Chain A
Amino acid sequence: MAEFDTRIDFYPTHEFKGIKYRRGHVLPFGATMVPNGVNFSIYSSAATSCTLVLFEKNAEQPFAEIPFPKEFMIGNVYSMIVFDLDYETLEYGYRMDGPFKPKTWHRFDKSKILSDPYAKAIGGRDTWLAPPNWDKLYPFRSRLVFEDFDWEEDKPLETPIEDLIIYEMHVRSFTMHSTSGVKFKGTFTGIKEKIPYLLDLGINCIELMPIYEFDEYEHSKKDPETGELLLNYWGYSTLNFFAPKSGYAASGKFGMQVDELKTLIKELHKNRIEVILDVVFNHTAEGDHRGPTISFKGIDNKTYYMLTPEGYYYNFSGTGNTLNCNHPIVRNMVLDCLRYWASEYHIDGFRFDLATILGRSQEGSPLSNPPLLESLAYDPVLAKCKLIAEAWDAGGLYQVGSFPCYGRWAEWNGKYRDTVRKFLKGDEGIVGDLSQRIQGSPDIYRSRGATAGINFITCHDGFTLYDMVAYNQKHNEANGENNLDGNNDNYSWNCGWEGETNDDYVNTLRHKQIKNALAILMVSQGVPMILMGDEMGRTKYGNNNTYCHDNELNWLNWELKEMNADLFNFAKHIINFRRNHPIFRNKDHFSNTDYMNTGFSDISFHGTKSWQADWSSSSRVFSFMLDGGHAKNGNSCDDIIYVALNMYWESIFIEIPRLPEGKYWHVSVNTDMPSPFDFHSLSDESRIEDQLHFIAGPRSVIILIGK
């Protein structure tokens, strides 16, 4: 302890009602443990004064309120060190005084206790669905966390993005169902218990829907018909950008959510599974002028939000307010936040919800060179993190293919989803478009390579894969909005009956269509993402917007794995197939030439006749051949692979390319065959008799291997 004693700033200089404190350090922002005390630092461009408010954990009333003396303020930053605080039981907040004049964009209210935007944990709702008390003096309470987790040798995995197979999941939904078999249902620890399942399936990356602290009761209401409580279940509404959701941690009630989440990440990394966070920087939980004052609104309204000249909130997010991401202050906060998650939590990448908002100016117009996106792209701490944009927003800005990327950003490829869905249901005029999608969309990502696109057919928004083949229309009545919410353009086909049926023909066709979809996804260039449960035929009964349901509409029913064993086995095979064939994972686009002099170009297109693709508008058949000599852009070696996609409703006779002397075509996948003959395990593919022709069944995918 001797070194502590030699520094005078380890000792208080001031005292206020028995609390000892001194001038603090301006940086870092937030509350930081320092020898003998805690350093508090917060800024506001327009407050006239600031008071630090200290609580014992869960106490209604604060035990101390310490006004910041003027001399503790540098620039717009208030800082102080308070001594002899208990790190584990302390909860803190601020009061900010200043004008309440919405027309000049200020909404200060010193009667409110404000949560620190830089708090590392939030107390007050420690467990999921803990009943809220709206009249509480201070409901969402800033807390301290220990930042000394024992990571041992762990670090972010830095798996090349083209090698990822992303599994999008919701923490609570993954293990909450009674059939999950885990001890701590619906938690981070629950996911940890399911790591063997994820390994068995073969994915190597999970993308977690929002885990920043949010209020599940925000905008909650009772369904007028059923009386069921409808929640902010998905959590796309952030209370604090640095704090993990306590209600997602089994140990949240002990305040150990940080340790529990880090333990999960460390364990996933040990199993070579990356973790991507779905982050929501487009708006906050404070809503519009009618919403609550929790933090930003009372600290510096005009800095944190995009405001109209009249002082109301711009609403590009569709949720009430829009975070002012290209204000330098907010930009720095976002950067600090992502750096914190990358360094403190070893997060491997981020998916940005409604990311085009991050490219809007402070007045809302799209910027050609948005400083925030540029800062993130060039940041040294984030240099190896995956950055993935949802390249559209609720304000009508759609930037798939044109999102400012700086050579770094990837995008959710919405065009991939729409094209593949249309092709699967047998629409005409799609083959040309589809050929671009399976090549990694070179038409929209010409200079960015195949890895610019995250390919997906389903995600949390919209139908599950099963519902995509079981429903023509959305059925969102349970959301309590008269079926008006959710997307109307689902490009889905119910295979002949709307919803559940005992008709064998319909059910067989549905399973085949699911396999077709998974197969197309896994043989496409780009980065595939599958939605939790699609590998076992998960249904939400046609509801395509289940944001509000804490029930079986969202919870994954693990019995489906046995009930739909054919789907699970197929999904597992096709994932494994992709991971074993580097030719599907090229970083750069195909060149349509034979630059490796193997005798075949890297990719070639075919139809019912080999070497003659049918691009006509009535065509529903598309085949392509990948030459393994061009795997990983010529840096790896693979078999020759031929994929035939027949979305015509009848069988077709396909001519297949002649292989070089000594090589033979083998069947790996034929979705027209009933399970277990729909695929052959790796290295056990069956050699076909007729090496020049193949019959592709109605609506089926054939994968052949030449070796």
Chain B
Amino acid sequence: MSFSVKSEVIDNTAIIAVEGSLDSSTAPKLHDEVQRIILQNPKDLVLNVEKLNFMASAGLRVIIFAKQKLGSAAKLFLVKPQDQVVETLRMTGLLFSVTIVDQYPE
């Protein structure tokens, strides 16, 4: 499945839509996008992952990277993650570092 990243900033909130499979071949694209958008000091970061069907270690690392770059004041939302993504976050202890929602704004 093809991979795509699209981002926008609305009202001080960064929204990135990710589609496809997030592994070591695609993670650098998301990584660059996160790095670029965080320069705008968003209040929150929203990852729309409804169409993200797989996340490997490299993808996990982008989430950690985003979390660390955002700082403790900002929240990291995941919108409608698929089961595999949630399970991966749970097994690797990241589930409580992100806020999972069905839509944003909640």
Contacts and interface: CB of A to CB of B under 8 A. Distances in A.
Interface of A: 86-89, 146, 148, 150, 184, 189, 192, 249-251, 254-256, 259-260, 263, 266-267
Given A189-B90, A256-B92, A263-B93, 14 more contacts: A87-B58, A88-B23, A88-B24, A88-B56, A89-B24, A146-B58, A148-B61, A150-B68, A250-B87, A254-B57, A256-B60, A260-B91, A263-B91, A267-B93
A189 B23 CA distance: 22
A260 B25 CA distance: 22
A150 B88 CA distance: 16
A251 B88 contact: yes
21 contacts: A86-B25, A88-B58, A89-B23, A150-B64, A184-B91, A189-B90, A189-B91, A192-B93, A250-B91, A251-B88, A251-B91, A254-B88, A255-B56, A256-B57, A256-B91, A256-B92, A259-B57, A259-B60, A260-B91, A260-B92, A263-B93
Chain A interface, >50% SS class: loop
Contacts of B92: 251, 256, 259-260, 263
Chain B interface, >50% SS class: helix
Contacts of A86: 24-25
B47 to A, nearest CB: 17
Contacts of A184: 91
A143 B23 CA distance: 16
- Residue of B23, B25, B90, B92 contacting most chain A CB atoms (<10 Å): B92
Q: How big is the B interface, by class?
A: 10 to 19
Contact of B56 (A250, A254, A260, A263): A254
Contacts of B24: 86-89
B88 A256 contact: yes
Contacts of B60: 256, 259
Nearest to B54: A254
Interface in B61-75: 61, 64, 68
A251 B24 CA distance: 17
Given A86-B24, A87-B24, A249 B91 contact: yes
Contacts of B64: 150
Nearest to A87: B24
Rank and list the top 6 A-B pairs by shortest CB-CB distance, nearest first: A263-B93, A88-B24, A259-B92, A251-B91, A189-B91, A150-B64
Contact of A146 (B61, B87, B88): B61
Interface in B23-60: 23-25, 56-58, 60
A259 B93 CA distance: 9
Interface in B11-28: 23-25
Given A251-B92, A256-B92, A263-B92, A88 B57 contact: yes
B57 A146 contact: yes
B57 A255 contact: yes
A263 B60 CA distance: 13
Contacts of B68: 150
Contacts of B25: 86
Contacts of A260: 91-92
Nearest to B23: A88
Contacts of A148: 61
Contacts of B58: 87-88, 146
Contacts of B61: 146, 148
A525 B55 CA distance: 50
A89 B27 CA distance: 13
A484 to B, nearest CB: 41
